[in-house]
């Protein structure tokens, strides 16, 4: 039923209209202000790592026995993934009922897809007890529909270039939008940032008397052979490597620990054991995820590896490039091939450039319907700009078949370029 609900949402509500908070504020008021009836909230903004941070926080808090509401976007396979109510995904019947309630309360007032789904999430959370909520910004922060809450803690992950059509192509402007989640006197945990972003965040925090808890200042993270060392003025942890793959996940995990330290200061009982359990148990699909079962995997010859990542901007390309470099250092490295699709709003050549140094070739596939994206031929032209040999194909299955037919196996195949593509892959792979 959730697919039908999504189609209903898409038919009745535009994906994007002008940014602003007036429409969702009007709807929430009509719903009797559910955003004011929520447990302590962590509001997560940034360009890269937001979802991973939310996943770590949920895993750690739940390991400590807390009931946690979580709102994230986009979904990969089913819309229900966006709304986790006290540990469980929202059910189809709940979705249907509360969407109807939201639409009736909204009346004929124009409202966008993300705005009404955010209101729905707050409504759902307000009706089920929980001790903590984690709210991920959809886009930007300052004028994002989620930014109608008064959180107990704000968090900003690394800021980079994305959604430039809405936030501009200057990092200062993008950082100003992200820093809009900082609230008066509310502590904010800040992940690794470029100097220009740090300056903007610090200026905004100073205006609002918001205490900052910054990576490299108030807390430090150092990778170790077994995981990472976390240190602040009050706390020191030697922690295991997180379950999520990639060197960048050390930063994301450490940012979660910094958030947990702030929660502990607010009397949340989340001890080192819970932190360790969360690091080991965390799950977040399509973030450098190795697929180990399912029809796509089973169609590959023995010794082949299939990996999936939804990153889609230049910084994500750098992360994947570092992973590819690590793969190349293995005693018997598998040759790397890419399968990708990208939206035209993304810097495809910037994303592919770090990977082009390691991948032997690529296959470009059509982007999922409903989005403005490069055709496979256009995507191959972007790959050619960075010196990457690329062949257009009709779909994921054809891409894998073509690679196996024209390249020696075993191989390592990385499907990348879009969370929407990642969702299509996960759905097809079962």
pLDDT in tens, 42-91: 999 999 999 999 999 999 999 999 999 999 999 999 999 999 999 999 99
Q: Is the pLDDT of residue 370 over 80?
A: no
The pLDDT-based confidence of 97 (bands split at 50, 70, 90) is: very high
pLDDT digits (tens, 9 = 90+) for 323-349: 999 999 999 999 999 999 999 999 999
5 vs 93: CA distance, rounded Å = 10
Instruction: State the CB neighbour count (10 A cutoff) for residue 26.
Output: 17
| pLDDT for the residue 17 | 62
Query: CB of 178 within 8 A of CB of 158?
Result: no
| pLDDT for the residue 253 | 98
| pLDDT for the residue 6 | 73
What are the residues whose beta carbons fall under 8 Å from the beta carbon of 38, sequence distance 6 or more?
A: 69, 122, 125, 126, 133, 149
210 vs 228: CA distance, rounded Å = 28
202 vs 152, 156, 386, CA distance in Å? 19, 12, 37
pLDDT digits (tens, 9 = 90+) for 7-44: 777 777 776 667 789 999 999 999 999 999 999 999 99
pTM over cut 0.85: yes
Architecture of domain 2-281: 3-Layer(aba) Sandwich (3.40)
Cα dihedral: 188, 192, 194, 200 (round 10): 0
Query: CB of 144 within 8 A of CB of 50?
Result: no
19 vs 112: CA distance, rounded Å = 10
Query: CB of 82 within 8 A of CB of 9?
Result: no
Query: CB of 310 within 8 A of CB of 287?
Result: yes
| pLDDT for the residue 213 | 98
Average pLDDT over residues 215-225: 97
By the 10 Å C-beta count (0-12 exposed, 13-18 middle, 19+ buried), 67 is classed as: middle
Please report, for the chain, the start and end positions of each structural domain, with discontinuous segments joined by +: 2-281, 289-429
Cα-flanking dihedrals φ and ψ of residue 7, to 5°? -65, -40
- The better pLDDT of the pair 110, 243 is held by 243
188 vs 192: CA distance, rounded Å = 13
Looking at the DSSP bridge assignments, the partners of residue 45 are 156
| pLDDT for the residue 101 | 95
By the 10 Å C-beta count (0-12 exposed, 13-18 middle, 19+ buried), 338 is classed as: buried
3-state SS of the chain is CHHHHHHHHHHHCCCCCCCCCHHHHHHHHHCCCHHHCCCCEEEEECCCCHHHHHHHHHHHHHHCCCCEEEECCCCCCCHHHHEEECCEECCHHHHHHHHHHHHHHHCCCCCCHHHHHHHHHHHHHHCCCCCEEEEECCCCCCCCCCCCCCCCEEEECCCCCCCHHHHCCCHHHHHHHHHHHCCCCCCEEECCCCHHHHHHHHHHHHHHCCCEEEECCCEEEEECCCEEEEEECCCEEEEECCCCCCCHHHHHHHHHHHHHHHHHHCCCCCCHHHHHHHHHHCCCCCCCEEECCCHHHHCCCCCCEEEECCCCCHHHHHHHHHHHHHHHCCCCCCCEEEEECCECCCCHHHHHHHHHCCEEEEEECCCCCCCCECCHHHHHHHHHHCCCCEEECCCHHHHHHHHHHHCCCCCEEEEECCHHHHHHHHHHHC
Q: Is the pLDDT of residue 164 over 90?
A: no
Q: What is the CATH number of domain 289-429?
A: 3.90.190.20
What are the residues whose beta carbons fall under 8 Å from the beta carbon of 26, sequence distance 6 or more?
A: 106, 109
Instruction: State the CB neighbour count (10 A cutoff) for residue 299.
Output: 14
Region label for 248, one of left (φ > 0), alpha (ψ between -120 and 50) or beta (otherwise)? alpha
């Amino acid at each position: 039923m959730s697919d039908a609900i999504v189609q209903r949402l898409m038919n009745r509500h535009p994906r994007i209209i002008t940014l602003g908070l007036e429409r969702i504020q009007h709807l929430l008021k009509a719903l009797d202000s559910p955003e004011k009836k929520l447990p302590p909230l962590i509001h997560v903004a940034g360009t890269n790592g937001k979802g991973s941070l939310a996943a770590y926080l949920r895993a750690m808090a739940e390991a400590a026995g807390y009931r946690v509401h979580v709102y994230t976007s986009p979904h990969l396979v089913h819309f229900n993934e966006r709304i986790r109510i006290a540990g469980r995904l929202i059910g189809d019947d709940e979705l249907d009922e509360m969407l109807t309630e939201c639409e009736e309360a909204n009346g004929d007032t124009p409202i966008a897809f993300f705005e009404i789904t955010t209101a729905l999430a707050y409504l759902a959370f307000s009706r089920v007890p929980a001790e903590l909520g984690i709210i991920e910004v959809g886009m930007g922060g300052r004028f994002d529909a989620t930014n109608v809450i008064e959180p107990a803690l704000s968090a900003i992950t690394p800021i980079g270039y994305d959604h430039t059509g809405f936030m501009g192509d200057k990092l200062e402007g993008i950082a100003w939008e992200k820093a809009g989640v900082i609230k008066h006197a509310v502590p904010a945990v800040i992940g690794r940032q470029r100097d220009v972003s740090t300056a903007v965040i610090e200026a905004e925090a100073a205006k609002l008397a918001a205490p900052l808890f910054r990576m490299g200042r108030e807390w430090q993270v150092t990778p170790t052979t077994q995981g990472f060392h976390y240190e602040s003025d009050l706390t020191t942890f030697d922690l295991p490597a997180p379950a999520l793959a990639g060197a960048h996940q050390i930063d994301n995990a450490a940012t979660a620990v910094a958030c947990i330290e702030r929660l502990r200061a607010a009397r949340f009982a989340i001890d080192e054991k819970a932190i360790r359990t969360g690091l080991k148990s965390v799950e977040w699909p399509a973030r450098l995820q190795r697929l180990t079962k399912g029809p796509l995997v089973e169609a590959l010859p023995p010794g082949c590896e299939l990996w999936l990542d939804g990153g889609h901007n230049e910084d994500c390309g750098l992360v994947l490039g570092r992973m590819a470099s690590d793969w190349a250092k293995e005693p018997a490295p598998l040759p790397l091939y890419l399968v990708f699709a990208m939206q035209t709003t993304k810097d495809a050549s910037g994303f592919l450039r770090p990977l082009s140094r390691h991948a032997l070739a690529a296959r470009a596939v059509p982007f999922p319907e409903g989005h403005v994206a490069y055709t496979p031929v256009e995507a191959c032209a972007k790959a050619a700009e960075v010196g990457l040999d690329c062949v257009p194909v009709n779909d994921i299955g054809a891409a894998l078949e073509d690679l196996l037919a024209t390249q020696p196996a075993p191989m390592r195949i990385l499907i990348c370029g879009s969370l929407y593509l990642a969702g299509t892959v996960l759905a097809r792979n079962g």
